[in-house]
Amino acid sequence: MSFQSLNIIEPILKSIAQEGYTIPTPIQQEAIPIVLRGIDLLGCAQTGTGKTAAFSIPILQLLHASKAYDKKRKIRSLILTPTRELAIQINESIKAYGRFTGITSTVIFGGVNQNPQVASLKAGVEILVATPGRLLDLMNQGFVSLRDVEIFVLDEADRMLDMGFIHDVKKVLAVLPRKRQSLFFSATMPPEIVKLSNTILNNPQKVEVTPSASTVDIIKQFIYFVDKENKPELLIDVLKDPNIKTALVFTRTKHGADKVVKILQKNRISAEAIHGNKSQNNRQRALENFKAQTTRILVATDIAARGIDVEDMEFVINFEISNIAETYVHRIGRTGRAGAKGTAFSFCDAEEKEYLRDIEKLIGKKIPVIDNHPFPLMNHNPEKTPQRGARPQRKPASSTNESRTQRNSSDTNTNKPNSNNRPYRQSKETNGNKKRWFN
Ligand code: AMP
């Protein structure tokens, strides 16, 4: 299927060709025709599936088709998203896809001076991308009117709930025109989210992109069983691999993220942390340094990392495993974006084994284990702490090659470690391949 066959107009076809997109992703194939028909949409999809274009392209097309040539531009579409990073990325995408349509957009988010945002609102825009808090703030100050909104998008609804934004979202909903088209996206659909979607959507069509089809299957995944106290040394050992040019490392806590950064820096590995205790500017700078590859390792907590879209990022390392299985899928989904390949390593200590079981149940497969590494799990009983600094012996060479292969993997056709016994990708993709979507 091509974008042409989805009846996309020429100015948008031209810009998406410039972006290097040739084939619509599954969510785009399904969602674009629904949105173009003016129907409400319930999209169950996560970041990394191409969902931003799935709603931005038809919104641009609809607004372009009924473009009011008023002198003063009015906000005709509102996109609410939970984080600053996501908001910026969505606005950048809209600007890229809409560059030949004449439709204007801007983005507002908290934690920064409001004046430049107010100035761009005063200049007039048709599409507003916003985080809930700053939107309400600027609405209360009279800088934003939602009176003319025709298309409303609620992005990452489950994350809105997690981050405690649901009341703000409801306040925004209360002032939106009743007659409108609404698009609702969420990676997961717990009962509370279904309930919320029912209050927003009118006769929606549902589109679902399962993470297992889109993300999990194309990412090489490996487990290292390791004692908690040996995780820093294992990380340093893993990062000796020069093929790991950059990696996103996940910790469960902000404090944990800072600790990992310190350890890496002490070992002369450039690293920065991105989490809720850092200022917005600090986070943005860390992300930019990481994108530019001036920082090799970005250490993140889950909320801060949500929506990070870094092209070329091949490696995700779960320094700590989340107790929520879906979080694993979100984390590893930071790599393998839109079909590009990726590798995820997870460091699992004795206490985290039960989280691993939940993850394997969710993704429906066993994750291959790398059991020939310098820090194998010694402490099988979480109550018993092994001696600090007791560095386990390397296994005898005779057992290494065999044991490094997939001990408990049922799918033997993938993830074969290469000849160096390292599970990394050997060749780097070309830019052209990177953008390709693998169904
Ligand atoms: P998203 O899920 O919107 O965060 O998109 C994930 C990534 O996929 C972004 O880097 C997009 O630029 C890219 N992308 C979106 N649609 C396509 C497409 N049809 N072909 C290739 N890449 C795409």
Residue spans of the domains in the chain: they are 4-210, 213-408
* Nearest alpha carbon, ligand 1 atom 16: 50
Q: How far, in Å, is the centroid of ligand 1 from the Cα of 49?
A: 6
Q: Whose CA is nearest to atom 15 of ligand 1?
A: 50
What is the average per-residue pLDDT within 418-432?
Answer: 31
Tokens of 56: 């931005």
The CATH class for the domain spanning 213-408 reads: alpha beta
**For residue range 137-182, what is the model confidence (pLDDT) as tens digits?**
999 999 999 999 999 999 999 888 878 899 999 999 999 999 999 9
Q: For residues 205 and 39, is the Cβ–Cβ distance under 8 A?
A: yes
DSSP reduced 3-state for 223: strand
Answer whether 0.85 is exceeded by the pTM.
Answer: no
- Which ligand 1 atom minimizes the distance to the CA of 436? 21
Query: Could you tell me the distance, in angstroms and rounded to a whole number, from the CA of residue 294 to the centre of ligand 1?
Result: 24
Regarding the beta carbon of 24 and ligand 1, being less than 6 Å apart is answered yes
pLDDT at 398 over 90: no
Instruction: Give the Cα separation of 210 and 221 in Å (integer).
Output: 18
How many angstroms separate the alpha carbon of residue 177 from the centre of ligand 1? 31
Question: Is residue 306 in contact with ligand 1, taking CB distance under 6 Å?
Answer: no
Chain center to CA of 94? 17
pLDDT surpassing 60 at residue 434: no
Give the integer Cα–Cα distance in Å for 114 and 431. Answer: 37
Average pLDDT of the chain?
82
Alpha helices in 37-165 (DSSP H): 51-65, 84-97, 115-123, 132-140, 157-162
* pLDDT score recorded for residue 68: 65
Q: What is the pLDDT of residues 279-310, one digit of tens each?
A: 778 888 898 899 889 999 999 987 777 656 66
Residues 335 and 344: beta-carbon distance below 8 Å = yes
Q: How far apart are CA 436 and CA 22, in angstroms?
A: 8
Question: What is the residue with the minimal CA distance to atom 11 of ligand 1?
Answer: 50
Q: Which CATH number fits domain 4-210: 3.40.50.2000, 1.10.274.10, 1.10.110.30, 3.40.50.300?
A: 3.40.50.300
d(C-alpha 275, C-alpha 303), whole Å: 7
Task: Reduce the DSSP state of residue 349 to 3 states and report it.
Answer: coil
> Which pLDDT belongs to residue 226?
96
Asked whether the domain spanning 213-408 has the same topology as the one spanning 4-210, the reply is yes
